Structure 1
Amino acid sequence: MTVSRTGRAARLTATIVAALAVVVLGGCGGDQEGGSGSETPSPSPTESPVASEQPDEAQIVEVNGAQLEVPADWIVTAPSTSERATLGAPKDASGHSYGSGIFNADITLADDTEDLAESQSKVVPDAKRLPNAKFGGQTFFHFRELEGAESLDTYGTVIKGSEVTVAWGFNSKLATREQIDGYINQVMPTFKFVG
Structure 2
Amino acid sequence: MVGYAQRMTPSRTSRSTARIVAVAMSALTGVTFASCGSVEDSLVSSRTSSAVPAESSSDVSTAEGQVVEVNRAQLHVPSGWDVTAPSKTERATLGTPVDSSGTSYGTGTFNADITLAGDTEELAEGRLNVAGSDAKRLENVEFGGQTFFHIRELHGGIDSLDTYGTVIDGSEVTVAWAFNAELATREEIDGYINQVMPSFKFED
Q: TM tier, shorter chain?
A: 0.7 to 0.9
- For residue 174 of structure 1, give the secondary structure of its aligned residue in structure 2: coil
Compared CA separation, residues 45 and 70, structure 1 to 2 (3 A): farther
Computing the radius of gyration over CA atoms, which structure comes out larger, 1 or 2? 2
How far apart in 1 are the matches of 2:63 and 2:193? 18
Confirm or deny that 1:190 pairs with 2:199. Answer: yes
Given the alignment, which residue of 158, 161, 164 partners 2:173? 164
2:88 is aligned to 81
Please name the residue that 1:150 is paired with. Answer: 159
Residue 178 of structure 1 deviates from its aligned partner by: 0.1
TM-score when normalising by structure 2: 0.73
Q: Deviations over 1:53-86 (max 9, x none)?
A: xx96121000000000000100000110000000
Q: How large is the RMSD of aligned CA atoms in angstroms? A: 2.1
CA–CA distance in structure 1, aligned partners of residues 131 and 116 of structure 2: 18
Change (3 A) 1:171 1:37: farther
Corresponding residue SS for 2:47: coil
Alpha-carbon distance in 1 for matches of 2:130, 2:112: 18
2:200 partner letter: F
1:58 partnered with 2:65? yes
- List structure 1 runs of 4+ shifted beyond 6 angstroms: none
Q: Are residues 1:138 and 2:146 paired? A: yes
Q: Distance between the aligned counterparts of 1:139 and 1:42, measured in 2?
A: 10
Question: Does 1:178 pair with 2:184?
Answer: no
Candidates 89, 110, 114, aligned match of 1:107: 114
Among 13, 19, 28, the alignment partner of 2:21 is: 13
Give distance in 2, aligned partners of 1:125 and 1:38: 22
Q: Provide Cα deviations, 1:109-135, integer angstroms capped at 9, x if missing partner.
A: 000000100111111042100000000
1:45 and 1:186 in contact (8 A); partners too: no
Paired residues of 1:14 and 1:152 also in contact (CA < 8 A): no
Partner SS for 2:23: helix
Unpaired runs of 5+ in structure 1?
Answer: 1-10, 18-34, 47-54
The Cα shift of 1:170 comes to 0.1
What residue is the counterpart of 1:38 in the other structure? 46
SS at match of 2:107: strand
Paired-residue identity, %: 66
Contact 1:113–1:158, Cα closer than 8 Å, also in 2:
yes
Deviation at 1:15, TM superposition (A): 3.3
User: What is the match of residue 4 of structure 2?
Assistant: none
The alignment status of 1:96 with 2:103, answered yes or no, reads: yes
**8 Å CA contact retained: 2:24, 2:108:** no
TM, length-normalised to structure 1: 0.77
